[in-house]
């Protein structure tokens, strides 16, 4: 029968078979190369091609079986056609040469080129191909099911289970990589915010709290005039109320309530104690992600951080957690300006009480944060004593010179930024 078909017709059929082979090869690569999360997003937005592709990829074994069925059928038919053409034009000696030439043509035009194109632009090829494969899978389902069952049986014997191939959820580190790779699709500001959200589990309330010795509050044992000065000069809207020391806290006062009271009359200590809300305590070491949820559940914004013995270690607020995500947003002057003073070159005078994470953030440094929270604590841990002025040391390649200290702590240091330091 092939003798009745003109050579031009056979060549046209061969060209069509090559195009079909290129379609099967390229669409296979495109469908497997699709970003599954972008595919899911487009499918939920109503993109018909994405919806069909998502259905096909729910059973990749059957999709691969369908593609291989079509591709092999086309390729084998093309090989037989090349043999017929060689016999009709040059006899048996031409068959070997024609087979070699055809192999090179298939490799270039039906394999390498379409697969490379599909890898570079998977969505352009995968979505239109899904319109072809979906009905084709329905038509050939019995045969494809049989091939899929047999191939899965072989894999099962080899110890491979299909549940191992399910799409896994992304871990925090994988999400971080996705955010970084978004590039210009997400502005740098929002990208940093997303990274900060992912980092909330790594940061605890200890890292953001106002430490015990810096807590500003209302001591009911003081004179009313001194209490009034504390309230008048406070930069905060909530202040702890205590007697004698902060460990004897009795409540938290919202200054707005006191302002409402003093609009008509002068307040007293009894008014402060009456208006103070019950204090809210959280254990030290609580991750910020957990504490943010707890603030939301308890409708709180102000927490006293306590250790395992119940002693107050500091104060953590909702504002502190939000600033970990979005950065500084208050209008109050930052204490970093007072705690970090630039000298000549890359030399800085730094207060020993500064929080290490704040120092790293302000200077884009990389001092260790997995131990002490303050620079003073880091130096004391490194030296195991309180150093006198003039002592020099180096921590993570950051030269440090002790400028002043007392019997309890390092007060001021001179720090030199290394020539090359890690960016946070």
Average pLDDT over residues 196-215: 88
- Domain edges within the chain: 2-165, 169-202, 203-325, 336-416
Lowest pLDDT segment from 17-21, 54-58, 80-84, 327-331: 327-331
| Alpha carbon distance 95, 83 (integer Å) | 6
Tell me, what's the pLDDT at 298? 94
Residue among 283, 219, 295, 297 at smallest CA distance from 251? 219
Tell me, what's the pLDDT at 370? 83
Whether the pLDDT of residue 3 is over 80: the answer is: no
Lowest pLDDT segment from 36-40, 87-91, 366-370, 419-423: 419-423
Task: Write down the mean pLDDT value for the chain.
Answer: 86
Decide: residue 183, CB within 10 A, 0-12 exposed, 13-18 middle, 19+ buried: exposed
- pTM value is 0.63
Chain-centroid distance of CA 131 in Å reads: 35
Partners of 218 in the β-ladder: 241
DSSP string for 333-386: PPTHHHHEEE-STTEEEEETTSBHHHHHHHHT-----SS-SBHHHHHHHHHSS-
Q: How confident is the model at residue 262 (pLDDT cuts 50, 70, 90)?
A: low
Q: Could you read off the pLDDT of 79-122 as tens digits, one per residue?
A: 889 888 888 887 777 888 888 888 899 999 999 999 999 999 99
Tell me, what's the pLDDT at 1? 47
Whether the pLDDT of residue 375 is over 70: the answer is: yes
Q: For the chain, give the percent of residues with pLDDT over 90.
A: 44
Q: How confident is the model at residue 416 (pLDDT cuts 50, 70, 90)?
A: confident
Tell me, what's the pLDDT at 423? 42
Fold of 203-325: CBS-domain (3.10.580)
Tell me, what's the pLDDT at 38? 85
Whether the pLDDT of residue 374 is over 50: the answer is: yes
Whether the pLDDT of residue 330 is over 60: the answer is: no
Whether the pLDDT of residue 277 is over 90: the answer is: yes
Whether the pLDDT of residue 396 is over 90: the answer is: no
Fold of 336-416: 3.30.465
What does each C-alpha distance from 51 to 43, 60, 134, 409 come to in angstroms?
5, 15, 11, 64
Tell me, what's the pLDDT at 380? 93
Q: Could you read off the pLDDT of 113-159 as tens digits, one per residue?
A: 999 999 999 999 999 999 999 999 999 888 888 888 888 788 888 87
Average pLDDT over residues 266-272: 87
């Amino acid at each position: 029968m092939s003798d009745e078909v003109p050579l031009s017709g056979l060549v046209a059929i061969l060209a069509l078979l090559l195009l079909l082979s290129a379609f099967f090869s390229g669409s296979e690569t495109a469908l497997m190369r699709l970003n599954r999360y972008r595919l899911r997003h487009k499918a939920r937005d109503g993109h018909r091609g994405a919806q069909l592709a998502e259905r096909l990829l729910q059973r990749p074994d059957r999709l691969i079986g369908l593609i291989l069925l079509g591709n092999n059928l086309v390729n084998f038919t093309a090989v037989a056609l090349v043999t017929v053409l060689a016999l009709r034009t040059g006899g048996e000696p031409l068959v070997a040469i024609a087979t070699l030439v055809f192999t090179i043509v298939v490799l270039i035009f039906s394999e390498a080129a379409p697969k490379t194109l599909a890898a570079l632009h998977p969505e352009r090829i995968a979505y239109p191909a899904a319109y072809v494969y979906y009905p084709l899978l329905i038509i050939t389902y019995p045969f494809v099911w049989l091939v899929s069952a047999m191939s899965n049986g072989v894999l099962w014997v080899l110890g491979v289970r299909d549940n191992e191939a399910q799409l896994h959820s992304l871990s925090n580190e994988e999400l971080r990589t996705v955010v970084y790779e978004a590039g210009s699709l997400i502005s740098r500001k929002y990208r940093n915010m997303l990274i900060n959200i992912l980092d909330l589990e790594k940061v605890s309330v200890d890292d953001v709290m106002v430490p015990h010795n810096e807590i500003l509050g209302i001591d009911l044992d003081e004179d009313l005039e001194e209490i009034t000065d504390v309230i008048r000069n406070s930069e905060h809207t909530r202040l702890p109320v205590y007697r004698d020391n902060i460990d004897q806290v009795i409540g938290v006062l919202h200054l707005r309530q006191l302002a409402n009271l003093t609009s008509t009359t002068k307040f007293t200590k009894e008014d402060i104690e009456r208006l103070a809300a019950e204090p809210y305590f959280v254990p030290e070491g609580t991750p910020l992600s957990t504490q943010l949820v707890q603030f939301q559940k308890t409708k709180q914004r102000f927490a006293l951080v306590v250790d395992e013995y119940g002693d107050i270690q500091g104060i953590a607020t909702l504002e502190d957690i939000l600033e970990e995500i979005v950065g500084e947003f208050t209008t109050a002057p930052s204490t970093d300006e007072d705690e970090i003073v630039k000298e000549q070159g890359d030399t800085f005078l730094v207060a020993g009480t500064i929080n290490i994470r704040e120092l790293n953030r302000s200077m884009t440094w990389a001092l260790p944060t997995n131990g002490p929270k303050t620079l003073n604590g880091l130096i004391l841990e490194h030296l195991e004593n309180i150093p006198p002025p003039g002592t020099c040391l180096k921590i993570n390649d950051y030269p440090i010179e002790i400028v002043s200290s007392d019997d309890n702590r390092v007060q001021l240091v001179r720090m030199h930024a290394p020539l090359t330091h890690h960016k946070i």
